[in-house]
């Protein structure tokens, strides 16, 4: 009888624990977006918001963070200038926004709403390069790019948009450079908008196609011509002669043209 009572207590404890864990996970999932925006007040009183985004994840329902909500946040933060995760040299030399898809959408939105855009990403293809990753070296250079551009926007409210993986790294570096972390009130409201029907920026398909062609042809051609790169590295950057990559990427343009938020389930 005593043994049965102990067993019942253990089962009750486990049941309560599992229920609490499920409630915590569900709460975190529902409120995930509130963890994606930070604010730092620099020593010269300059306001810097940092927003971590999910790249292609915004186009999947499970992420619970749509591209519409990302644009709502830009609108509600109301920055004087936006810094995005794309490389400035690619834009200057080739006229392309070479960052992830959410950066292309942000660039298009800002351009059509007269919000200046600066590009602060850094990476280069080497024999040790790995796609879709970050390193301390990369985050250090992104931070240097941010600090350099902040000087050009004194007394302006700045919004830095970067992948979620850079969010804490860039926030900590700004604090290390004299900034103070600030509380963002009613953060969930940043992602809300009125009852307007969502539409993508008019220029997004053109911006996205330019980016697609850049990675389909220009980058592979540059890699193949680079004598410092070994054959293994070059084999990872072959030109898209059969249009497989191009057709895959242009699926997003169908989404843009239909003003749909999510990729269809396959």
The pLDDT of residue 24 is: 45
Q: What does the alpha-carbon distance between residue 156 and residue 159 come to, in Å, rounded to a whole number?
A: 10
CA distances from 182 to 8, 37, 48, 110, 257 (A): 48, 11, 10, 25, 39
Q: What does the pLDDT read at residue 25? A: 45
Q: What angle do CA 90, 95, 101 make, to 5 degrees?
A: 75
**Segment 116-164, tens digit of pLDDT:** 999 999 999 999 988 777 899 999 999 999 999 999 999 999 999 999 9
| Per-residue pLDDT, 8 | 67
Answer whether 250's CB lies under 8 Å from 212's CB.
yes
Helix (H) or strand (E) holding 38: strand 37-41
Q: Which residues of 120-155 are buried (b: 16+ CB within 10 A; e: fewer)?
A: bbbbebeeeeeeeeeeeebbebbbebbeebbeebee
Quote the pLDDT of residue 210: 98
**What are the beta bridge partners of residue 41?**
47, 180
Neighbours of 239 (CB within 10 A): 14
pLDDT tens column, 18-43: 665 554 444 444 457 899 999 999 99
Q: Where are the alpha helices (DSSP H) in the chain?
A: 2-30, 67-77, 88-94, 101-112, 136-150, 164-176, 204-213, 219-225, 231-235, 244-249, 251-258
What confidence score (pLDDT) does residue 26 get? 45
DSSP code per residue over 80-92: SEEEESS-HHHHH
| Model pTM score | 0.89
Q: How far apart are CA 65 and CA 59, in angstroms?
A: 8
pLDDT mean values, one per 10 residues, the chain (266 residues): 62 63 48 88 95 96 93 97 98 98 98 98 93 88 97 95 97 97 93 84 98 98 96 96 97 96 85
pLDDT score recorded for residue 197: 86
């Amino acid at each position: 009888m005593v043994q049965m009572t102990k067993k019942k207590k253990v089962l009750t404890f486990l049941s309560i624990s599992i229920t609490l864990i499920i409630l915590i996970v569900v709460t975190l999932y529902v409120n995930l977006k509130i963890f994606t925006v930070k604010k730092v007040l620099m020593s010269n009183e300059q306001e810097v918001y940092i927003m971590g985004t999910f790249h292609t994840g915004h186009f999947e329902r499970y992420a619970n963070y749509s591209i519409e909500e990302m644009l709502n946040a830009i609108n509600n933060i109301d920055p004087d200038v936006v810094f995005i995760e794309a490389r400035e040299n690619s834009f200057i030399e080739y006229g392309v926004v070479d960052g992830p898809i959410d950066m292309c959408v942000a660039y298009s939105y800002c351009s059509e709403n007269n919000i200046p855009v600066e590009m602060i990403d850094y990476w280069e293809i080497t024999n040790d390069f790995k796609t879709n990753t970050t390193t301390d070296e990369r985050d250090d250079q992104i931070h240097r790019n941010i600090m350099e551009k902040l000087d050009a926007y004194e007394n302006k409210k700045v919004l830095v948009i970067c992948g979620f993986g850079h969010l804490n790294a860039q926030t900590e570096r700004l604090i290390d450079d004299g900034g103070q972390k600030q509380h963002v009130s009613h953060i969930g409201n940043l992602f809300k908008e009125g009852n307007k029907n969502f539409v993508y920026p008019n220029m997004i398909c053109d911006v996205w196609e330019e980016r697609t062609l850049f990675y389909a042809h220009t980058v592979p051609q540059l890699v193949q011509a680079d004598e410092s790169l070994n054959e293994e590295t070059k084999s990872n950057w072959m030109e898209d002669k059969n249009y497989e990559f191009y057709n895959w990427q242009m699926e997003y343009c169908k989404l843009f043209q239909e003003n749909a938020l999510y990729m269809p389930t396959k």
